[in-house]
Amino acid sequence: MDKVNKIKSLIIVESPAKARTLKKFLGNNYAIKASLGHVKDLPGNQLGVEIEKNFKPHYITIPSKTRVLQELRKAANDADRIYLAQDPDREGEAIAWHVSQELKDVPEEEKYRVLFNEITEKAVKEALQNAGRIDKDKVDAQQARRILDRLVGYKLSPLLWEKVKRGLSAGRVQSVALRLICDREKDILSFTPEEYWTITATLQRDTPPSFAARLFKIKGKKAQLKVQAEADRIVEEVKPLSFIVSHIEKKEKKRNPVPPFITSTLQQEAARKLRFSPQKTMLIAQGLYEGQELGPEGSIGLITYMRTDSPRVSAEAQGQAREYIKGRFGLDYLPAKAPTYRGRATAQEAHEAIRPTEVFREPESLRPYLSADHFALHQLIWQRFLASQMNPAIYDVTTVDIAAGEYLFRANGSIIKFLGFMKLYVESKDELTEEGAEDQEKEEILPPLATGDKLLLLELTPKQHFTQPPPRYSAATLVKGLEENGIGRPSTYATIVSIIKTRDYVREEKGRFFPTDLGLLINDLLVENFPEILDIKFTAQLEDQLDQIEEGKTNWTQTVSDFYRPFAVDLEKARKNMQKIKGIHPPTEIPCPKCGQKMLIKWGRNGEFLACSDYPKCTATSNFIRDEKGEIRLKPNAQVNKESTNEQCSKCGQPMIIKRGKFGEFLACSNYPKCKNTKNLASADLDLNCPIPGCPGTITVRKTKKGKVFYGCSNFPTCTFATWDRPIPEPCPQCQAPFLVEKKSGRDTIIIQCIQEGCQYKSGGK
């Protein structure tokens, strides 16, 4: 097209929300389009990586993005220049690169990369003026991660299908996160509590108030009481003694504010304070970054970019914060110099911390326009940022030692002299993990005391305690553990936590992660057979290598090759040596509610369940729970399922079971009465198209007159397709038939094969 007719610049972003916000600033001189995330990826039905050709990837257009790309090409042909404005991280860089490749008719010199750390008018216009080119090093780093993850997933998952059961999957980073949870669980289950005792004296001067002091030393050595008899003996010895104040120490202590949020600390604090999952936190933060409709103001970006590991704050933002603090709280709360915070050695200092784009836009003014979740997260970010720019809190801390013969008791007290940053914000804490930490003496306000004061003993209380095991991971502590161990990066923490939750390798109860039996089994198999890729330090080193690729210091193909060579060796060994678990079901001591035989633990599409060991004579199944020690218990009021099916409840995802009612058999959710979903047995749809060419029907679960389950076309009797073998919702990799089937061969072996006549595809079995 003639250059004269090209009158607009085209900006391509990832989301419509960001597009709306930009449109408000830039007006009619810019056309703004959204790619709606990734437009190209590795194929879903094959490896998509040519290992022998230096790990060359084969990207295909994501089917749902064909029309999007057509629209982008058309808009690009009408523009004088193209700004690729995807998010400022590796993932965004890769999307920009793929979009650029698809705009083949646009000369390279007309395509620019632009980075928005915040979506405000000033920041956007400055970014457009300083537009650059696509960072190929950053693209290579993302490409290396994608290919590494694809190699592990596509090579390990079929091995697990063969050795354990169909449908399992493994991931390079997610498997290491699972290991953290499994290792913690083993520590908890092997932990032996140790008894110890404390003795607390309640004391006062001549008049109230009283205060508490704990036994601290005996004959100059730290008091360590192991048994009740020892504690009782000391109590009797101490009761008649005089209590004299022997030493008082007063100190002024400062408590410094915490840095502004980075991705990991935002996810942790949102989990603790707001009970948000990491995935929910990032979804809401993305909305705050891209823009929220604020009534007459239109769409406004409220926070800076939310995927960052740097606590750095721009001088302009610090100046704005200092002006606000001075006006709102006064000079006492304003440090003489703006605080600076140091990130980790691997932090990308080009990014800023997560902060509000406009400090003077107070959270309360936004409440009418934001959802409750968006308001809560924005308020948290606003408070944390401002607090990070304020003066420390100041305490007067007093330690009082009280002598009673050869015994020394200690009381600790503190008084806040100056709130400082705590006037606005105090960070939540994870639970203490030290042995007995929950029983450490609490600091309290002490009455006026002087050395030599004689005190009155009001009460002497011995108390039994037990050391505690380390706590199970919560979403907050798991993200913290991932960051501390160097596993993952800001853009991946939420995905890691989400994936291990959805794979049925862990379950979440009361905010804590418990590995399932399947998760423990998979972890043990992978650690034994793939010790290197399941090694936490090795995974962290690989993350560092990805950072070096981004910095242009390392070649991405060399990094992938260095990883794959030993992995391929381990993979071949595992094919021969990995223990085959398929068909082996752990026994329990729980009797079958229907026939009395012992129940076994089995794994289905929706996780673990109990099944009668006398199957197929008895088809009873039931849900179960585990106690704190991992012991299995039948779920209270658990439904005993008399005939299970492969159908999944469309409302809650639990297995459907066959029931008999007034009008015959039907499918009902096994999660009854919580879920009362039912379905006509004959119309149980597997969401699979009939393989007969030209037939519009779908595959349904049916039963013969004698009650035997089979799978047939919903278009019966026009179409008579039927099979006894259970369909698998995966297209045949050879002939692209709409699904495969499971065919039993012997007692425990299952073969996956194609249903299409003439196709020889087959996998699994021996």
| DSSP secondary structure letter of residue 391 | P
8 Å CB contact between 480 and 430: yes
Contact status, residue 113 vs residue 98, Cβ threshold 8 Å: no
68 in helix, strand or coil?
helix
Amino acid at 16: P
CATH number, domain 195-256+393-466? 2.70.20.10
Q: What pLDDT was estimated at residue 439?
A: 42
- Find the radius of gyration of the CA atoms of the chain: 32
* Dihedral over Cα of 225, 230, 231, 233: its sign: negative
Q: How confident is the model at residue 399 (pLDDT cuts 50, 70, 90)?
A: very high
Compute the average pLDDT of residues 497-508.
87
Q: Kindly provide the b/e burial profile for residues 168-191, where b requires at least 16 CB atoms within 10 angstroms of the residue's own CB.
A: bbbbbbbbbbbbbbbebbeebeee
Most distant pair of Cα atoms in the chain: their distance: 104
* pLDDT grade for 437, boundaries at 50, 70 and 90: very low
Catalytic residue among 112, 305, 564, 711: 305
Residue 613: alpha-carbon gap to chain centroid: 36
Per DSSP, which regions of 406-533 are E strands? Answer: 407-418, 454-466, 506-509, 512-515
- Three-state DSSP at 24 gives helix
By 3-state DSSP, what share of the chain in percent is helix, strand and coil, each rounded to 5?
35, 25, 40
What mean pLDDT do residues 465-471 have?
94
Q: For residues 170 and 153, what is the distance between their CA atoms, to the nearest angstrom?
A: 5
The burial class, CB within 10 Å (0-12 / 13-18 / 19+), for 12 is buried
- Measured CA to CA, the distance from residue 146 to residue 274 in angstroms comes to 32
Tens digits of per-residue pLDDT, 594-631? 888 888 888 665 567 888 888 777 878 887 877 666 67
Cβ burial, residue 207 (10 Å; 0-12/13-18/19+) = exposed
H helices, E strands: number in the chain: 17, 37
For residue 153, what are its two tokens? 């997933």
Q: How many CB atoms lie within 10 A of CB 689?
A: 15
What is the chain's length? 766
- DSSP-derived secondary structure for 211-233: EEEEEEEETTEE--B-SHHHHHH
How many CA atoms within 13 Å lie on the side-chain side of 10?
A: 24
What average pLDDT score do residues 676-703 get?
69
Check residue 659 and give its pLDDT.
67
Strand spans (E) along 379-428: 393-404, 407-418
Show contacts of 378-382: CB within 8 Å, 24+ apart: 378/288, 378/302, 378/303, 380/266, 380/269, 380/270, 380/273, 380/274, 381/261, 381/266, 381/288, 381/303, 381/354, 381/355, 381/356, 382/356
Q: Can you give the pLDDT at residue 615?
A: 79
pTM (predicted TM-score):
0.77
Q: What is the DSSP code (8-state) at residue 261?
A: B
* Residue reference for tokens 């094969």: 753
Strand pairing category for 749-754 and 607-612 = unpaired
- 10 Å Cβ neighbour count for 49? 20
Q: What is the DSSP letter of 93?
A: H
Q: Which fold would CATH assign to domain 3-134?
A: Rossmann fold (3.40.50)
Q: Is 1.10.260.40 the CATH number for 263-388?
A: no
* The CATH classification of domain 143-190+471-577, taken from the options 3.30.70.2740, 1.10.460.10, 3.40.50.10300, 1.10.3720.10: 1.10.460.10
Strands (DSSP E) found in 346-440: 393-404, 407-418
Strands 644-648 and 740-745 turn out to be unpaired
Question: What pLDDT does 632 receive?
Answer: 78
- CB-count burial class (<10 Å; 0-12, 13-18, 19+) for 502: exposed
How high is the pLDDT of residue 264? 96
Helix pair 372-388, 278-290: axis angle to 10 deg? 80
CA atoms of 477 and 259, how far apart (whole Å): 18
Given a cut of 70, whether residue 639 has pLDDT beyond it is no
Greatest mean pLDDT among 98-102, 580-584, 730-734 lies in 98-102
Instruction: Report whether pLDDT(456) > 80.
Output: yes
**What is the domain partition of the chain in residue ranges?**
3-134, 143-190+471-577, 195-256+393-466, 263-388
Please give the Cα distance from 361 to 297 (Å, whole number): 12
Whether 395 is catalytic: no
At 717 the pLDDT is 75
As a whole number of angstroms, the distance between CA 504 and CA 517 comes to: 10
Q: How far apart are CA 636 and CA 640, in angstroms?
A: 11
For residue 348, name the pLDDT band (cuts at 50, 70, 90).
low
CA 640 – CA 624 distance, rounded (Å): 11
Residue 345 has what pLDDT? 67
What rounded mean pLDDT belongs to the chain?
A: 87
**Are 278 and 473 a contacting pair, CB within 8 Å?**
no
3-class secondary structure, 318: helix
β partners of residue 598: 591
Q: How far apart are CA 325 and CA 333, in angstroms?
A: 7
Measured N-to-C along each axis, helices 90-102 and 136-163 cross at an angle, to the nearest 10 degrees, of 100
Decide if pLDDT at 168 tops 90.
no
User: What's the rounded Cα separation, in Å, for the pair 586 and 203?
Assistant: 58
Q: Which tens digits make up the pLDDT trace of 556-574?
A: 999 999 999 999 999 999 9
Q: What is the pLDDT of residue 670?
A: 76
Please report which confidence band the pLDDT of residue 419 belongs to, taking 50, 70 and 90 as the band edges. Answer: very high
Would you call the peptide bond into 693 cis, given omega within 30 degrees of 0 as the criterion? no
Cis geometry, peptide bond prior to residue 260 (ω within 30 degrees of 0):
no
Query: Cβ distance 653 to 645 under 8 Å?
Result: no
User: Residue 9 — pLDDT band, cuts 50, 70, 90?
Assistant: very high
Q: Which long-range contacts (CB under 8 A, 24 or more apart) does 608-616 make?
A: 608/504, 608/516, 608/517, 608/518, 609/655, 610/634, 611/585, 611/644, 613/587
Tell me if 477 sits within 8 A of 272, measured CB to CB.
Answer: no
Residue 73 has pLDDT above 90, yes or no: yes
